[in-house]
Each structure stands twice: as structure tokens, then as C-alpha cells.
Chain A
Amino acid sequence: MKTLLGLLLVVLLAACTTVATKKVDSGDNTIGDRLQVNIEGPWNQITAPGMGPAYIWTMEGLPVDQLRIYSGIKDGEVIHDTRNSNLKSFTFRSNMQSDELVSMFEGMLTRDGSTFQVTKVEPSVFGGGKGVRFEYAMVTKEDSLPLTGVGYAAVNNSELFALLYNAPRLGFFPRHQARVEQIARSAKIIATPVPAKN
């Protein structure tokens, strides 16, 4: 038992040491190589092994608030951290309709048993093309914390571009919502470079 707990501790400590934080400055920023956003005020980008394909930003620090940005997710790609293989995986399909995109994100955010309630779904523009905007309310399973969230998603040339932000309902979400909406409005999908002909 002690050996097992010791090993667990070592693994957890090892994981801690590989978490990196990088400041994201105001102005135009390219996410991956396919999505450009303009931000007002700096954010913190968190990177760690196994965090999944989304770029994770935070204003207040994880897990208080979290902005996930997806840039050019391919058909068949899993959209989340895959370290816990015992939980259901959620995969992007390029033929997904708007409601299916929302369901996919809902499934992702409730993998741990958290509750999720979509409070609004509406057509929107994201990345310069047709997309969907949705609002949601969550209660986290881990600490029973009520969160509010907003998401934008669009499929462009069979690739997924999306942005999801959630934060505690009281205080943090209202504080940063306008900033997030501005980022979503500024999003531009960068065309895939055409390979040069020889």
C-alpha cells in the first residue's frame, strides 16, 4: 500500500514539474497556425503533457477560469485530455451539425459527472464564417461549484475551430465575459497554405 501511494505521489510530482505558463500579450495572436485572435489585456497560457488539443488560457489561474481554443481540429480527432482512458471519449466529426457540436462539448465537459445545462444556442459568426454560439451553466462534480460558460464553434473546410470559456458564476464569469466575447468576434480562420507547385 505504502509503495503504491509513494509511486502515485512521484507520478503526481513529476506531472507538476512539467506544467508551464506563458504570458499571452495584448494584440493579434495566432493560435496554432490556423486561427488568429485579437486580445485586449494579457492572458496566461498553460501547457502540460496530455492536456489535449485545445490551447488553454486563463485569467485567474486554473481551475478557476478556463478558455479553451481549438484551432483546426481534424475529422476523427479527440477534443480533450485522453489520459483517463476509462472515461468516454468525444471525437470531432467534420459532418457535425451545430447541435452536434454543442452536444460534443457538453459531453466533454461532463465526463467527470459534472452537470451541464445549455441555456442558449443561436446562429453566429465565428472565424469569419457561419457558426454557433452557445451559453451554458455547469456544476462541477469535484467541488460542486456553479460555473457559467459561453462557447463559439464553426466547421471550416472539415476542420473545427472553437472557443469555450467557463468560470464561477458569481464574480469571475461576469468579470471576463466581455473580454472573451471580444476575442470570439475578432477570430479569423487563416486559410491553409496552398502547397507550392514545382
Chain B
Amino acid sequence: MNRRGFLRAGCGCSLGTLPLFAAGQEPWQAPARFVRPDTASDEGGIWAAMDREETKLRRSPFNLRDPQLQPYVQDIACRLGGEHCPDIRVYLVRTPYFNASMAPNGMMQVWSGLMLRVDNEAQLAAVLGHEVGHYLERHSIERLRAAKSSSAIGQFAGMFGVVGLLGAMGLVAGMYAYSRDNERDADRIGALLMNRAGFDAGEAAKVWGNLMLEVNARPNGSARNPLFATHPASEEREDTLKELAASLKGGVTNEDAWQQKTAPHRRQWLQEEVKRGQHEESIAFLTRASTRTQGKADYLWARGEVYRLRAGSGDLDSAVKDFQAAVALGGEPPEAHRGLGLIYRSTERAADARASFERYLQLAPDSADAPMIKNYIQELSV
């Protein structure tokens, strides 16, 4: 689910009035598998445009072709999709933002920033289930038909392409955003699909709560991001999802399995998270993630690096503490020593800086910045 989708639903849900099904209403049933529309129809045109985007995505270097992780996430999506499983094609996309989307032709994107953020399989299933809900209810087709513009198909298809919702896509995303009713429906269906697939539906509210931690950490609140600016975040969303979960008991979270499967990518994704330069959001996320049972040294290193790069009042001290804690845990990224060395160098602790740099080069002798670090050691030895 994209952030807009996840947030919008919160705007439309009123506290205490969201049972899974209204009184007297038939339980929701998934529609039969969709037949490929006639190419001469408007929907056929949409599918063709989506197919072109999918071809680009398949070839894109942003497509994370992990033979272990891709089938694993595909399997989660399949369990949620039920009989629609053969029509769902999952692509893992290397982009450090919280986002997932599902196009009308069955192409589903899951971005690395989302995979880094979810704590377990159930949280991922909450996001994917919501997207499958939009797909099953054909909400995107509904929105595009409402636009009544032939040029809209290209713009709409672009939203599902590899560029996604970043930057300039905000305006286009706003034009085709799902309605509040759509989001409410997708929430209900997503929770139901989670429950049917054996996941703990209570994790859906946690995804929302965790995301709000990051939003609230921003210096300007939600105003800086157009996805939040037009649709202010609502605390009600979390409560609504909790209420939904209360009627759907049981299910697993599978935290260990999720953390193990994503462990090979963790440092790369953390490096990309640090590079986003969204310091406050990153610190909020990494503070939460550093309580996870696996990868603690990696999260501490990443938070230390964010502090070091932000370099505000007290940040360098916080960075040193995090780097030292990562080292104390063992199995730390070599960059923890590099970070310590750079801070010690800037604070004129020459001997400590030299020792940290030497340790860094021992652990990462072929690092890209080895020539620069060696030069620092030379300077510190004079």
C-alpha cells in the first residue's frame, strides 16, 4: 500500500463505527478471478499500459532479484490473494521509502523501505492485504474511469511504474487517490484476508502506529510531504484497525522468519535509509528497530551514523554512544569504527581516531574510502 493509501483511510474512518461488516450485511466474498479485458475497451487500454510498466520494472536495476526473498514475499501475497494467487506478480523494488502498490493487471510492487520497516510477516501482510483489497474491488479502475480523460491512462500507469510516487508524482497521485470509502473497504478486506491466511490482524494497527512515530518526528510534522499535507494524519486510524482486529482473533506474526529472510539485505537497506537524509524520521525508526531481537548492532550503527551526519547539538556524543554500543555487541558493521574515527578526528582525539581508523581498515581493507582513511592516519601520526 502506498503511504497515501495507508494514511487516507485514517481520514475517513470514524472511531467506534467500523465493525468488519455492518449489521445484516453479507460477509464479504472475494470476486472470481478477473478475465483479461478486451484490448479495445478502456480497461484493456489500462492493462496494456500496466503491462508496459511491468516490462520496464522487470528489467529495471531497481528490481531486487533475490531468489530467496522474492518467492517468500510472493508466497505471503499469494496466501492473501487466495484463488487470485496466479494473477499476482510480486516485484521487490530497491527504494528506501515506505510503499507498496498493486496495479489492476496484478503487478504488485513492494519497496525496500517498507520491508526494512515491518517487524514481521504479519505486518507485511497487513500492507499487502490492503493492496490486494483494492485490487479485488477494482478501485483503481473505478478512479481512472472517474477521471474521464484519455491522457489519464499514461499518468495513471506511471504511478505504478518504477518511479512510483516520489517527488513530482505527488500531483498525479493526488488526482487518482482512492476515495475514503475505497480505503475503508480495503482496510476491512485486508484485515479479513490476513485472518484467513493465518496472520495476526492485530499487527495492522502497529504498522500504522509505527509510521505515525516517524511522521510525528518530522520537524514540520506532516506538512513537508505532499502525501501527508493534503490528507492530515489521523490518530483514529490506529484505533480503527485495532477495533477491526478485535473481531479477528488468532494468527501468527512470524517475526523470526521475517528477520532471518531479510537479514542479507539489512545493511544495504540501512545504508540507503541513512542516505535519505531524513534524519528525524530515520532516528525514530531506528530507535524502534534497535529493540528487535536480530540485527541490533546494525541498527545502532545506522542510528549513530544518522546522528553523526546530522551533527546537531549533542549529536556527536549520541553517535559515539551508538557506535560503541554496536562494537560492544560484536558483529558490528566496519563503518562503526569509521564513524568513531571521524568523530574523534574532528574532536582532536588523535590516538583514538587513529586506532578506530586502523580497526576500520582491518575489517574493510578494500573499502572505497581506504585511500582517504590512510591519509587521515598519516596526518594523525605526524
Contact = CB atoms under 8 A, between A and B. Distances in A.
B258 interface: no
B62 A141 contact: yes
Nearest to B339: A99
A99 B369 contact: yes
Nearest to B226: A86
Nearest to A86: B226
Interface string B348-382: 00000000000000000000110110010000000
Given A86-B170, A86-B224, A1 B149 contact: yes
Given A88-B277, A112-B166, A139-B62, A100 B368 contact: no
A15 interface: no
- Among B59, B148, B163, B372, the most chain A Cβ lie within 10 Å of the Cβ of B372
Nearest to A4: B175
Contacts of B97: 113
Contact of A123 (B175, B275, B371): B371
A99 B342 contact: yes
A3 to B, nearest CB: 12
B37 interface: no
A120 interface: yes
A117 B96 CA distance: 14
Nearest to A132: B372
A177 interface: no
Contact of A103 (B163, B309, B345): B309
Interface residues of B, number: 41
Contacts of B226: 86
Contacts of A122: 371-372, 375
A115 interface: yes
A43 interface: no
B167 A84 contact: yes
A90 B224 CA distance: 15
Interface in B146-168: 147-149, 151-152, 162-164, 166-168
B279 to A, nearest CB: 9
A141 B63 CA distance: 11
Nearest to B61: A139
Contact of A120 (B224, B278, B368): B368
B373 to A, nearest CB: 9
Interface of B: 56, 59-62, 94-97, 147-149, 151-152, 162-164, 166-168, 170-171, 175, 224-226, 272, 275-278, 309, 311, 342, 345-346, 368-369, 371-372, 375
28 contacts: A8-B171, A86-B224, A86-B225, A86-B226, A87-B167, A88-B276, A90-B277, A97-B342, A97-B346, A99-B342, A100-B309, A103-B309, A113-B96, A113-B97, A113-B166, A113-B167, A115-B272, A119-B368, A120-B369, A121-B368, A122-B371, A123-B371, A123-B375, A141-B162, A144-B56, A144-B59, A144-B60, A146-B61
